[in-house]
Structure 1
Amino acid sequence: MIFQESETVELKAFVVENIKKEIIAFANCEGGKLYVGVQDDGTVLGLDNPDEVSLQISNMVRDSIKPDLTMFLHYETLTVDGKKIVAVDVQQGTERPYYIAKKGMRPEGVYVRQGYSSVPATNTAIRYMIKETDGDRFEEMRSLEQNLTFEFAKKTFAKRNVTFGTAQMKTLGLVTQDGVYTNLGLLLSDQCVHTIKAAVFQGTNQNEFKDRKEFTGSLFQQMDEVYDFIDFRNQTHSTFEKLYRIDRRDYPETAVREALLNLLVHREYSFRASSFISLYTDRLEFTSIGGLVNGVTLKDITMGISVCRNVKLANIFYRLELIEAYGTGLVKIMDAYEGTGMMPRIETSNNAFKIILPNLNAITESAKPKQIGLEKDIPEKKVIALTKEQGVITRKEVEMLLDMGQSSCGRLLKKMVENGLLIQGGKGKNTRYRLP
């Protein structure tokens, strides 16, 4: 029997640590045979105890290689030239990529056969093996990153009194039955690689930034921090209906909440690009990566029809009572604006989905105060200063402030309202004026 190394044959004089690389490489490729007791040049040295060598290799494979590869290995003791050697037949595995457990599913832990050698696999090759084995559903694929922690997720589950242990993580799909983290696990881990970028602009375009921030960590952490970022800037404005004060925030809290949850649950995570939140003076935009799921139209989703892209992720948000049911979020957003005279807009492309919430308290350009000549309008400046100090003013108070007659004062206030310097509320004796 002649021995010679090839793409499918590896020779080892005895068991060494890097024998794991050869076995992994065969399992990740087309399979192969490993002969122990034979030198690289094909010289048969033989083994004193072949059964012990087989057991040693078996233990090494079971303890050091993931996923479990034992069922794809067959051991046989051969006698060649009166000497005993061990032949290990390695079949191509069905759960590729296989890797050294301590090094993880990275190039330094994953090996493939290249010519007569076993070499580290590229990231591209690793992703290809994952996709080929696990299919196209992103959240069910095994994560390239396996060194994960879940501190924020644990706190989120605890707040909802939902158990979050190893058994639950497997049931929910964060971990495979072999203990390997999935991409769903990566999304909820503290090491999540997907981010949300938020920006606040001065005006209605992107010419001037007021603030910007990138949110990282578990999707739960991003959810909480992004909501706080928006909520802090979601101002409350007051109007008066007769004697009653009416407070209204720029954006209905329900609409903000549902738009943010939609951004998190329904985005396409197979792309590494960030999601975006843009806050202008007249609108708030949520832009997520990934257009509509194939077969679903914009009209469908506004009617409450939903085909979920990330089923397992949505199920977790449902269990935590963050979402109520599929397809209700956009309906809630629309309902939040009912009776306001404004309506949210939705824009889609092949690779993006945008929800635009109008600012309920925004002043249109035509209604903004006219700045030209304001410095010369001393009465107007005094009225504005008093209104800013008190919150609201009456015509009588303006008469006393300016020592002005009733008719002149009425004309001044009417002019200021028409120019957008003041907003009038109430009628007759209950008329009040406030700043825009």
Structure 2
Amino acid sequence: MIPTKETLSVEFKSDRKTLGESIIVDEVVALSNSEGGDLYIGVEDDGEITGAQPAHRDPIQVAAMVANKTVPPVSVRAETLAEKFPVMHIEVPRSRSIVATSNGRILRRRIKSDGTPESVPMYPYEIATRLSDLGRLDYSAQPVVDATCDDFDPLELARLRRLVQTSRGGDRALLELTDDELERALKLTTRVGEKDAPTLAGLLMIGKAESLERLVPTHEAVFQVLEGTDIRANESYRQPLLYTIEDIIARVEPWNPVTEVQIGLLSQPTPLYDRRALREAVVNAFGHRDYSVLGRVRVQMDDAGLLVNNPGGFIEGISVRNLLSAEPQGRNPCLMDALKRVGLAERTGRGIDRIYEGSLLYGRPLPDYSASNQTMVSLFIERSEPDAEFVRLLAEERNRGAELPLQSLLVLDALKRSRRCGIAELSEMVDIQHQRLRRTVELLCEAGLVEASGVGQNRSYMLSKKVYGHGGKAKEYVRQTDIDRVRYPELIMKLARQQGRVTASDVRELLHLPDGDAAYYELKKLKEHGELTLVKKGPRSFYVPVKK
């Protein structure tokens, strides 16, 4: 039950000489301020079990001591592991806030260069980052020390008004406000004493470049274009966000060629990178980055694709696996709200949906966030040509008045990649809640885009003949249906073993066969192979598995 070595979430403490309570509390605080974990008292650093002293063998007493000496109190679960030498195991939960010892020490866990863990002090900037990750602090809404409204650039304020007026999602009501009223409405300023002071969001959006360099040194971005090892573009930015975002998007355009996809008598221009998805990716990088740490937003285009990186990992509750289903939330709500009302970001807070749609609508590979970690969010969009036949299929569905939602596109993409799978396999591949996924698949079956076979747990899905035929892949469709027929004996025998018997009507319903003769044919083959035995003849006949 005791691990063999220390990790970021596992700490060993020797108790040969009675361990001080302050050391135990320090380790609990460090674990709680990180990912939570387990503290073992009576285990050496190399994993040797030497046992805890009698003073540390009472779980109730240890848990009470930890709660009394932590602020806010940490509720741990303590137990004595009775082996040759008793060990005190303390299970530490991950805190939803910043935890300190009763004497004011704040610590966290980290991995040293040799790969072993240690507990170290948590510095002020790390506290801000931690609270931001937990959704307890909006860093962008805080007033900036030493900043005044003179640090705002009138030209950037004019740019903001222009964006509101020209952007499709801009909040037109903002145009009727005076400059001071507009700044307060967007929370670009906040009241400090008897005067308005710029917030971090305000400086980031409309601050002067020299003021940003002086007051917000963490604000920096770079745009790069690489062809092989040759650098075609390398532009650094220390200007306010509105200018930076517009300029980066404008610089991407010459490197974003358009392909014409013929749909009937018309042709549809299809850019290499969907423009709405590109804008959302860039805006999200600036809107969700961690401005309390050094680093820069990087937008890079190369032969492989488009890469967008920003400092600061996913916040609490968000991961690569639940990006599409998690409740929309961000690290800088004040800044993102301003970007939405200006018209640069998706007003619904579902910009991630736009990024995925930008690939799915053209049959391209899904956006890849797998390189993201605790300190960085990394988005990679692969460079690939559009699937022209898939684009035509979606255009036909739109012409019929059946606009496919994102969930349907995700299911079609998953079936295109995996060929055939059941609900359980689809649930592992797509980020959709189980009940909604089942409903989405059945609606695609009704629309003729997906075909189903089997019933219950044996029910599986594949792209329909209509989809394969549209892409000129009739052979692949036939191959898939043949694979299905190969599985007929396996499915029949599985049903027979579960029920103890099987009839022709059972087989017909299970395999969606056209008539009873086909079902009798499958049962006859299994009988000839010695897998089933016919128990009774006539209309009430049934078969039972042969015991081996």
TM-score (norm: length of structure 1):
0.48
Higher CA-based Rg: 1
TM-score (norm: length of structure 2):
0.39
Which structure shows the bigger proportion of residues in helix conformation? 2
* Higher relative contact order (Cα pairs below 8 Å, separated by 6+ residues): 1
